[in-house]
Amino acid sequence: MSSRVRVVILGGSFGGLSAAYELRRHLSPERAEITLVAKDERFSFVPSFPWVAMGRRSLEQISFPLAASLASRHVRFAKETVTGIDTDAKVVSTSHAEHPYDFLVIATGHRSANEAVPGLGPFDGPGHSLMSATETTELAGAVRSLLSDPGPVVVGAAPGASCIGPVYELAFGLDHLLRKRRRRHQVPITVFTPEPFLGHMGMGGAGKIRQLLEGALEERDIAYRTSVAITKITAEAVEAEGLSPTPSVCSIVIPPLAGVEAVAASQGLANPKGFVPVDDHYRHRIADGVYAVGVAVALPPADETPVPVNFPKTGHMTEQMAEIAARDIAARIAGHEGSTAVLSARCVLDMGDRAVYMSVDPVRPPRDRIPTVSEGRPWLLAKQAFERTYLWHMKRGRRMPTTLGW
């Protein structure tokens, strides 16, 4: 290994940016050359996508260009699409170049497996989602159309989904928006979830969140069904296993996730679903110098459920993974091993006129502490403030220490 270590990071979202900033905090530019490769030139605050869909934010308000922020931390930015990873030669191939590495951090996020549900578009079918900035923009247009031409709505998640929180945020947000516009009486809302009970969220539930969500949906006249396996979306309805078609003119369904194509196709790197197996340091179990953080990581479900629900990977959890991985890389360069930690989860779930704060430690049950679940308008204000503060810090090239989570 040369005196100046080469670190390549793939992905410019929570995992990639957090890893870059944390690595630079431990390794000077003279000690390590850090390159971040991402196909998108902007960082987007993904937890605010439901607000964009409801017209409460624009994409410009929740994003910033990566290049200047990374340059302020002496991190080189390459706007390129990864095409392959050769773990034997330690080279990342992209659409424009080859990037040799001593250490590699895979923070590529996910590929939305929309093909799992026929009709789940938005660009090749009538269904809508919000797992990318482009899809969220399209969904915002569908919501505007719904306001002018009301009809029934289904909000749900497909079998095998792991990102369940937005289902609730979208249902509550749509209810809140329709009531403000005096259109709620014209729009029946139904929630379909693969969860065995409300609030399972792929982590086995969290304290009293089940009872809270049941009461909140019933209070707002939002119908719901659990253990639902959505099988098809048409322009008029959502079909599910064992159920009659449910009328819907605006169907919003969160898909299951898979690993991005370049990672999935690289020999010996990922499991059959394209996710990367790692140890407690987020090091690849076989490939030398390779780490993975965030959605790219292979994590088993918390439990077996009648309809599959996969383990969640939130922004807060992704940052914990990135910090552990970055510290381990710095430690290995110094000749020893970094520390590990069990993942916890803290998030604020928007309910339109208020929010719910949840703290779970550890994420996977059984847990050392009874989960904290708190509801109220102050949490909504805290979520709004956190969004602004987080973007302010990250845009200026520094991580924001937080105990709030999202």
Q: Is the dihedral of CA 254, 255, 257, 262 positive or negative?
A: negative
Of 110, 4, 58, give the one whose Cα is nearest residue 387.
58
User: Between helices 209-219 and 165-180, what is the axis angle to 10°?
Assistant: 30
Which helix (H) or strand (E) element contains residue 92? strand 91-94
- Whether omega before 362 lies within 30 degrees of 0, making that bond cis, reads yes
Q: Is 89 exposed, middle or buried, given 0-12, 13-18 or 19+ CB atoms closer than 10 A?
A: exposed
Instruction: Give counts: helices (H), strands (E), the chain.
Output: 9, 22
Question: CB neighbours of 155 closer than 8 A, spacing ≥ 6?
Answer: 167, 170, 171, 174, 189, 190, 191, 192, 252, 253
Are 330 and 323 contacting, i.e. CB atoms less than 8 angstroms apart?
Answer: no
Structure tokens at 260: 């991005």
163, 263, 269, 278: the active-site residue: 163
Are 291 and 18 contacting, i.e. CB atoms less than 8 angstroms apart?
Answer: no
Strand, helix or coil for residue 144: helix
Read off φ and ψ for residue 250, nearest 5 degrees.
-140, 100
Question: CB neighbours of 141 closer than 8 A, spacing ≥ 6?
Answer: none
Strand, helix or coil for residue 66: helix
Strand, helix or coil for residue 5: strand
Which residue type occupies 312?
Answer: P
155, 158, 347, 356: the active-site residue: 347
Q: Alpha-carbon distance 390 to 401, whole Å? A: 9
Q: Alpha-carbon distance 161 to 137, whole Å? A: 21
Asked if 250 is an active-site residue, the reply is no
The DSSP 8-state label assigned to residue 183 in this structure reads: -
Which helix (H) or strand (E) element contains residue 157? strand 153-157
Question: CB neighbours of 171 closer than 8 A, spacing ≥ 6?
Answer: 155, 189, 191, 217, 222
User: Mind telling me the catalytic residues?
Assistant: 163, 347
